Amino acid sequence: MNRFNLIALSFAVIQLAGCGGGTPSAQNPGNGAQLPKTLWATAKIEGAKEILAVKADAKEGDLVTLRGVIGGAEKPFVDGRAVAMLVDMSVPTCADNGESCPTPWDYCCVPKDEKAKAMATIQVVDDAGNPLKVSLASGNQLKPHAVVTVQGKVGPRPDANVLVINVTSIHVDAQKK
């Protein structure tokens, strides 16, 4: 083996070793999990209800269609899991109230109790019912403050404020600023 090959081999080994050090992130799930291609609806999903309306009477197992804004926390997506938070359209952001805020999607001006009442969680689950090990923001289809319509089945509701939707379809209606 000549010297050039030895150097090339050394670089290859260093690069391979370097690949293992990172932690999975939204952009790099790291374990090969992918969101189903059928998740993203190309046409607008009709018949959507607001989160507050769905929360009022939804029961576990109901098929629901609801609309909301991606937000409710500074990081509304869970890194490495297909889980995100939605806020009801009626809740005003700090920006709506005329205040300057770099992360208006976290609704930091809204009291925590009120925010919890107007929030829902969407997740994409595997056959065992566990969230997929990939962020919902991984394909850059979803961003904080996006207005989305989702369709899916209601998960367990241990509390009136809890509304988890195991979504099968997501449509991005608009992107708020």
Partner 1 sequence: MRILPFDYAIRNLGRSPLRLAMSVVGSMLVVMLMIAATAFVRGMEKSLADSGSDRNVILLGAGSEESIERSEIKASVPTQAAASLRGVRSTLGQTFISSEIHMALTVGTTRDEQSKAQVVVRGVDLPAFLVHPQVRITQGRSMNPGANEIIVGKLAATRLGMDDAQLALGKTIWFDDIQWTIVGRFTAPNTVMDAEIWVPLNDLKVSAKRDTISCAVLTLDDDGEFEDVAAFVASRVDLELVAVRESEYYAKLVAFYRPVRVMIWVTVALIALGGILGGLNTMYAAFAARVREVGMLQSLGFARRAIILSFMQEAALASMAGALIAAAASLVLLDGVAIRFSMGAFGLQLDAIALAIGLLTGMTLGVIGALPPAVRCLRLPITEALKAA
Tokens in use for 2? 């000549």
What is the sign of the dihedral through the CA atoms of 90, 113, 94 and 71? negative
> Is 78 one of the binding residues for partner 1 (CB under 8 A)?
yes
> Distance between terminal CA atoms of the chain?
58
How many residues contact partner 1, by CB under 8 A? Answer: 29
β-bridge mates for residue 68, sequence order: 148
> Is 58 one of the binding residues for partner 1 (CB under 8 A)?
no
Count CB atoms within 10 A of the CB of residue 75. Answer: 14
Radius of gyration of the chain (CA): 20
> Binder to partner 1 among 52, 58, 81, 154 (CB under 8 A)?
81
Stretch that binds partner 1, among 6-14, 59-67, 128-136, 139-147 (CB under 8 A): 128-136
> Is 158 one of the binding residues for partner 1 (CB under 8 A)?
yes
> Is 144 one of the binding residues for partner 1 (CB under 8 A)?
no
Distance in angstroms (rounded) separating the CA atoms of residues 168 and 39: 6
> Is 133 one of the binding residues for partner 1 (CB under 8 A)?
yes
Judged by the rule CB under 8 A, the positions of this chain that interact with partner 1 are 24, 72-73, 78-81, 83-85, 108, 112-113, 115-116, 119-121, 123, 130-131, 133, 155, 158-162, 164
